[in-house]
Structure 1
């Protein structure tokens, strides 16, 4: 199985890059992982709704340019379906059993994802109704994907 994490913006803080690297190393036993970063747009202070929509559209176009037709796309969105770790593990397992071998998780920028990206997504996943920094969300996502594979393989993992 190939897992692609498509994310808006670069990670600047070392502690985040170290965590992403650690989970990428751990995941290499279970899947091929690719992390693709696209440039984020600067949001001016006091940007109105129209400006914010335009920013999300630009970032969305960049994300969509990396999504292949055969990818199963899971958008991370507050309004998505909340799943437990066990449910996410089961969902990934089911997708694999259905012959889906190329899954992309999409993380938006500070304003979220464009309508075009949400429409392209096969499903939306919510980790919480809270908002997290997109750099931290990458770490949380990778940890949960790793936990999913550990659950699928019946391997112990701390709770």
Structure 2
């Protein structure tokens, strides 16, 4: 983890005692316009999504667009039809890395990552704007997880649950939490 990643983690104050005021509060620790709204890109590896899941993801993406630009990118699982698991992960790893710029702030979703509460996710979104990055890229791995290159490139690794989540469920949880983060940061009421 590089120096900038360490500074962000330190800024997140990931101890149990850190507090932000809950959504809907006008007493948010962030001034309503003080957060630099970096564009968000979500890179997820997987098969074609069900229509129902895609509709729910799209609904949250539209809500997030009120606060910042957001892009949902699906990368086909096993893009070269590899016959073994290791080769598949390597191929997916390369496909993800080809979409990441040098000035992206990369957040990898991983079952062994840091466990964040919603308020800390909001702090992550806010603090990423102070890293010098031009975009936040959230990466969701395929059925066998992330490859070595993305693990080395990631600025931060987080988990959305203590339970292992299917990548499609992880995507839905992520977009919901990103929307919730923005309502926290702006001190606005969360709308379902």
TM-score, normalised with respect to structure 2: 0.74
Partner in structure 1 of residue 123 of structure 2: 90
Equivalences for 1:1-159 in 2 at 5 Å? 1-41=38-78, 51-157=84-190
RMSD: 1.9
Whether contact under 8 Å (2:46, 2:143) holds in the other structure is no
Whether contact under 8 Å (1:9, 1:38) holds in the other structure is yes
Q: Distance in 2 between matches of 1:112 and 1:56?
A: 7
SS in structure 2 of the partner of residue 17 of structure 1: helix
SS in structure 2 of the partner of residue 77 of structure 1: strand
Q: Distance in 2 between matches of 1:114 and 1:80?
A: 15
Q: Please, which runs of 5 or more residues in structure 2 have no aligned partner?
A: 1-37
Rate the CA distance shift 1:122–1:78 in 2: closer, same or farther, 3 A. same
Structure whose residues are more often helix by fraction:
1
Q: Distance in 2 between matches of 1:67 and 1:98?
A: 16
SS in structure 2 of the partner of residue 111 of structure 1: coil
Q: Distance in 1 between matches of 2:67 and 2:86?
A: 37
Superposed displacement of residue 32, structure 1: 0.5
- CA deviation vs aligned residue, 1:5-47 (integer Å, no higher than 9, x gap): 00112443111011011011101111101111111128x9xx8
SS in structure 2 of the partner of residue 97 of structure 1: coil
Q: Structure 1 residue runs of 4+, over 4 Å off? A: none
Partner in structure 1 of residue 9 of structure 2: none
Q: Distance in 1 between matches of 2:173 and 2:143?
A: 16
Q: Distance in 2 between matches of 1:130 and 1:57?
A: 25
Partner in structure 1 of residue 34 of structure 2: none
Q: Distance in 1 between matches of 2:138 and 2:52?
A: 22
